């Protein structure tokens, strides 16, 4: 990749969902100066998936992403190309990058209202950078690659007639089998691929609906949980090309099931920091051994919604509040939504390469929270190796080690 920074401030480009060496990750330790270039290289070695990329400058990620620096990154592989799924890009396989915005005249307005403790919430919705988006479609089955690229807003996607659709993939790729549902919740950073059946000549609106798990009435009202709005209109042709039915089996999951886990870790999510610590670019919070599987328990009892994203890996959700995960959480994940009162157990395998002095991040992907310090760093080392103090730390002056009450 060759990235040129044409901005007048430093930024970075992070490959969200990609399994790659820590130095190529594009996090806050790989800043690109204004006018500078960055040329990371790695071999793509992971299953087909819908990934994305966005800047990750510590303390300023929300502003950089909100202003539009984000894009989708689609991986194919042999298995995904052989399956009878809609896969003609832009025809029956559509990228759907969803962001909320607010305008002040012709300019984007990024102001956060005082009661919005989740961060910025826009009052309009864009898909692929377009307002009032619609798409003409000519096929019976349409695959939508949904990406929540918003900085704070969580969506509950569905259709006004409550038609069922098939979930075929989550963040890190295909499920074992399609799961039928009529609502799908995605918090910032999450992706999902769904297949929807169209009727000839119809117009159907993909919408976002109110979310009953969002929190108390305050959270629902001021945090966006009560909102409902149009996202993307699909306009079906008078005659549709017949699509083959989608396969009943999609393949095996590569994510670990946790039975070979060698250790557990706990992460307590608070707006003031994870495990009572605010992000510090110079501190390595966790050290994991290359090639091992771990079970991470992540808990939110902070009275507001959070989510949890881990760089470099795709993980499996083992449990949500002691129960087996719902259909939407059965595929490979790198980001999960944790409404207040949620505890999740995740199985993660770290397959390297080891780099004791370059950390990966884990954080809340509500970017306002991330910028405030809801982020930590982990390194992957060879057995017996110790983490070093992060090298090449440029950082953004004045943005590490904040204290929040
Ligand atoms: Cu999508 Cu650390 O980020
Ligand atoms: Cu990421
Ligand atoms: Cu958060």
The string of pLDDT tens digits covering residues 284-343 is 999 999 999 999 999 999 999 999 999 999 999 999 999 999 999 999 999 999 999 999
Distance 365 CA to ligand 2 centre (A): 9
pLDDT at residue 405 tops 50? no
Q: What is the pLDDT of residue 397?
A: 41
Whether residue 178 is found in the same domain as residue 220:
yes
219 CB contacts (<8 Å, ≥6 apart)? Answer: 225, 304, 305, 340
32 CB contacts (<8 Å, ≥6 apart)? Answer: 3, 5, 10, 11, 12, 13, 38
Would you say residue 364 lies in a domain? yes
Whether residue 300 is found in the same domain as residue 285:
yes
Whether residue 67 is found in the same domain as residue 100:
no
Whether residue 88 is found in the same domain as residue 220:
yes
Domain that residue 45 falls in: 3-74
Question: Among 57, 74, 91, where does a domain finish?
Answer: 74
Query: Cβ atoms within 10 A of the Cβ of 131, count?
Result: 10
Whether residue 199 is found in the same domain as residue 123:
yes
pLDDT at residue 214 tops 50? yes
Whether residue 208 is found in the same domain as residue 279:
no
What global pTM score does this model have?
0.95
**Residue 189: left if φ>0, alpha if ψ -120 to 50, beta else—which one?**
left
Neighbours of ion ligand 2 (CB under 5 A): 16, 311
Would you say residue 393 lies in a domain? no
Whether residue 192 is found in the same domain as residue 293:
no
Residue-wise pLDDT for 38-95, tens only, equals 999 999 999 999 999 999 999 999 999 999 899 999 999 999 999 999 999 999 999 9
Give dist(CA 375, CA 271) in Å, integer. Answer: 10
pLDDT at residue 387 tops 80? yes
Would you say residue 399 lies in a domain? no
Whether residue 42 is found in the same domain as residue 85:
no
Which-ligand-closest: CA of 270? 3
Which-ligand-closest: CA of 12? 1
Nearest ligand 1 atom to the CA of 54 is 1
Whether residue 222 is found in the same domain as residue 98:
yes
CA-proximal residue: ligand 1, atom 1 (nearest): 16
Q: What is the pLDDT of residue 271?
A: 96
Whether residue 113 is found in the same domain as residue 231:
yes
Q: What is the pLDDT of residue 404?
A: 37
Would you say residue 253 lies in a domain? no
Question: Among 188, 206, 241, where does a domain finish?
Answer: 241
Residue-wise pLDDT for 125-151, tens only, equals 999 999 999 999 999 999 999 999 999
Q: Across residues 347-358, what is the average pLDDT? A: 95
Distance 311 CA to ligand 1 centre (A): 7
Give dist(CA 341, CA 323) in Å, integer. Answer: 14
Contact yes or no for 156/16 (Cβ under 8 A): no
Which helix (H) or strand (E) element contains residue 150?
A: none
Q: Across residues 221-243, what is the average pLDDT? A: 95
Nearest ligand 1 atom to the CA of 16 is 1
Number of domains the chain is built from: 3
Would you say residue 256 lies in a domain? no
Distance 111 CA to ligand 3 centre (A): 18
Residue-wise pLDDT for 169-209, tens only, equals 999 999 999 999 999 999 999 999 999 999 999 999 999 99
| Local confidence band at 115 (pLDDT 50, 70, 90 cut-offs) | confident
Distance 342 CA to ligand 3 centre (A): 13
Whether residue 68 is found in the same domain as residue 97:
no
Q: What is the pLDDT of residue 346?
A: 98
Question: Among 40, 74, 108, where does a domain finish?
Answer: 74
Whether residue 273 is found in the same domain as residue 331:
yes
Would you say residue 222 lies in a domain? yes
Which-ligand-closest: CA of 364? 3
In 3D space, the residue among 313, 320, 319, 362 whose CA is nearest the CA of residue 341 turns out to be 320
Would you say residue 9 lies in a domain? yes
Q: What is the pLDDT of residue 392?
A: 55
Helix (H, G, I), strand (E, B) or coil at 23: helix
| Local confidence band at 403 (pLDDT 50, 70, 90 cut-offs) | very low
Give dist(CA 262, CA 21) in Å, integer. Answer: 22
Question: Does the CB atom of residue 311 touch ligand 1 within 6 A?
Answer: yes
Give dist(CA 390, CA 6) in Å, integer. Answer: 27
By the 10 Å C-beta count (0-12 exposed, 13-18 middle, 19+ buried), 115 is classed as exposed
Would you say residue 207 lies in a domain? yes
Distance 272 CA to ligand 3 centre (A): 9
User: Domain holding 308: CATH number?
Assistant: 2.60.40.420
| Local confidence band at 400 (pLDDT 50, 70, 90 cut-offs) | very low
């Amino acid at each position: 990749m060759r990235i040129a920074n044409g901005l007048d401030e430093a930024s970075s480009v992070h490959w969200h969902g990609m399994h790659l060496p820590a130095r190529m990750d594009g996090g806050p330790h790989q800043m690109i100066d204004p006018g500078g270039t960055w040329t990371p290289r790695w071999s793509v070695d992971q299953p087909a998936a819908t990934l994305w990329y966005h800047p990750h400058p510590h303390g300023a990620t929300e502003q950089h992403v909100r202003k539009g620096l984000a894009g989708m990154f689609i991986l194919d592989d042999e298995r995904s190309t052989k399956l009878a799924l809609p896969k003609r890009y832009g025809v029956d396989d559509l990228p759907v990058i969803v962001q909320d915005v607010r305008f002040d005249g012709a300019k984007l307005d990024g102001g956060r209202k005082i009661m919005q403790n989740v961060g910025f919430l826009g009052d309009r919705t864009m898909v692929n950078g377009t307002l009032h988006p619609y798409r003409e479609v000519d096929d019976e089955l349409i695959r939508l690659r949904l990406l929540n690229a918003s900085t704070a807003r969580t969506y509950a996607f569905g259709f006004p007639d409550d038609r069922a659709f098939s979930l075929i993939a989550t963040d890190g790729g295909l499920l074992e089998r399609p799961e039928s549902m009529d609502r799908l919740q995605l918090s910032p950073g999450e992706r999902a691929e769904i297949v929807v059946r169209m009727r000839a000549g119809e117009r159907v609106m993909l919408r976002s609906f109110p979310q009953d798990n969002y929190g108390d009435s305050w959270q629902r009202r001021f945090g966006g949980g009560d909102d409902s709005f149009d996202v993307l209109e699909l306009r079906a042709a008078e005659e549709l090309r017949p699509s083959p039915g989608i396969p009943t089996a999609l393949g095996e999951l590569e994510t670990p099931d946790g039975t070979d886990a060698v250790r557990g870790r706990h992460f307590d999510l608070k707006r003031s920091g994870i495990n009572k610590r605010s992000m510090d670019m110079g501190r390595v919070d966790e050290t994991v051994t290359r090639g091992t599987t771990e079970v991470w328990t992540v808990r939110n009892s902070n009275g507001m919604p959070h989510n949890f994203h881990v760089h470099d890996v795709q993980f499996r959700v083992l449990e949500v509040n002691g129960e087996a995960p719902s259909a939407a959480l059965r595929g490979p994940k790198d980001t999960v939504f944790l409404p207040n009162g949620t505890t999740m157990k995740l199985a993660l395998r770290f397959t390297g390469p080891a780099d004791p002095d370059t950390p990966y991040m884990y954080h809340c992907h509500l970017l306002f929270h991330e910028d405030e310090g809801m982020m930590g760093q982990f390194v992957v080392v060879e057995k017996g190796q110790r983490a070093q103090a992060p090298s090449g730390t440029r950082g953004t002056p004045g943005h590490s080690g904040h204290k929040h009450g």
